[in-house]
Structure 1
Amino acid sequence: MLKTDWRAPRRGRAQEVEAVTGTVVEDVDTGWVGAVVRVEKAGGMQVVHLEDRRGRVKGFPLGPGFLIDGAPVVLTAPTAERRAQVQAAQQAASRTASGSVRVVGQAARVASGSRIWVEGKHDAELVEKVWGDDLRVEGVVVEMLDGVDDLAAAIRDFRPTADRRLGILVDHLVPGTKESRIVAEAEKVSPHARILGHPYVDVWQSVKPARLGLTAWPVIEKGRSWKHGVLEELGYPHSTQADVALGWKKILSTVRSYSDLEPTLLASVEELIDFVTVP
């Protein structure tokens, strides 16, 4: 008994594929290769228009007679749902992770004199992942502070001006804390430095817990290392600094865009970027 479909064409049987914008196909009869730019009715029939790599556009009857990656297909008119999916994907691709309109074809600007300071490596990596594209366009560099204990002195050393501004993001900036007292003193140094923060013990908490499958971040008792405790509660290795670094990479990998971060952090970072990029 024959176990194969001996009547099947050499390239296989044609599969139906919706002719959505951007799909690259080849017309079997003419060898024309192009991306779908539109489907329309013309002369009582549906026509698919294909644009080749030189920008030339040619129309073909919608239906059989096309190849995708060498496999035969029957092109069908795209449904409204599929068109909406493609449009949403195109819109997403035109935005940066921060939600800004992506600037295409512009090289990173030479670094300006303005700076944004953050408290540590993890803060810097998170800002880079979400706002990096925007900051490169503006020519703003993010630098790490080694803590904020000498923040006022650091601002004096930087000597910010109207054309060389300084934005500073501080962790755990809530009333009554050591950080709030340090910031209150540092704010007196210069009107060209702006200090904002977030209420979280660590910038990790600014990632929405739902991204990790949680309803809330674990509560770690005083006297216990917060990061090590969180990693233990999450079931991650937590004994060494290497474990902490790996755990943060796992957390950071769940962040896709600004929508995965808490609004309090978003507001502070956006305001700092606006402050240091004022013409």
Structure 2
Amino acid sequence: MEGRSLLSSSFGAAAAAYAEHRPDYAQAAVRWALEPAPGPRVLDLGAGTGKLSATLVALGAEVIAVEPDPAMLTELRRALPAVRALSGSAEAIPLPDASVDVVLAGNALHWFDMAVAGPEIARVLAAGGILAGLWNVMDDRIDWVAELERVAGGAAIGRRDTLGSWRAATKDMLVPGTGLVATFGSTEQVEFPHGQRRTADSLVATLATRAGMLVMPDREREAVLGRIRAFLGSRPETARGEFTLPMLTGVLRATTWPKSSR
């Protein structure tokens, strides 16, 4: 828990870079997450700088954003001044009971303490409400992406930042008796094609916003980023100009148990 807390609280120091360099979410993935919702009220929980909120706004949802980090919340409010953005956490959501139809978490669900956050999320959801986690992951079925993961190392890339690691991590999240399974009913997961236009420099800047990178000692971080930069400069796919970073948006969607059965 202490290690997870350190990682999850690391983003505020790089809030502006996070806002600039992190990818948005595949619209098809967000639509699928919203598909069975009983209404339009959506809570973006652990909203960060508003990457997911922006997609939700574009799709016409009624969005409330909740984010615990003050620096990330500042970036969100700057980018999306029309969105109601509140300070709060998954474990203490500043909303009334049954006040939203959907709770979405973009690259955030794995940071929640689901033993506490699961019942809290269920509390704010209306009957038949939906919880969905979305993750933007690099497609490591592509050879050069898999090699990039090896060069960068697990701490730099992150446990849920490539397709293979996301599949393994979400499998862990669905173990019977865990907070997600215990609190919610049926679960489904789907992956949607996505991509981000990058240059070698901007991909290095993107990877520098990963939690594992942010908590590294400066000398170690610079060494890892140097290896990544050298690798990207050596590959024909990435050495010259812009390229598309092959990605997917993975979605894990759960439906609440009927209120009477909890």
TM-score range, shorter chain: 0.3 to 0.5
**Higher normalized contact order (CA 8 Å, seq sep 6+, divided by chain length):** 2
Query: If the length of structure 2 is used for normalisation, what is the TM-score?
Result: 0.33
TM-score normalised by the chain length of structure 1: 0.32
**Structure with the largest fraction of helix:** 2
Q: Rg bigger for which structure? A: 1
Greater strand proportion: 2
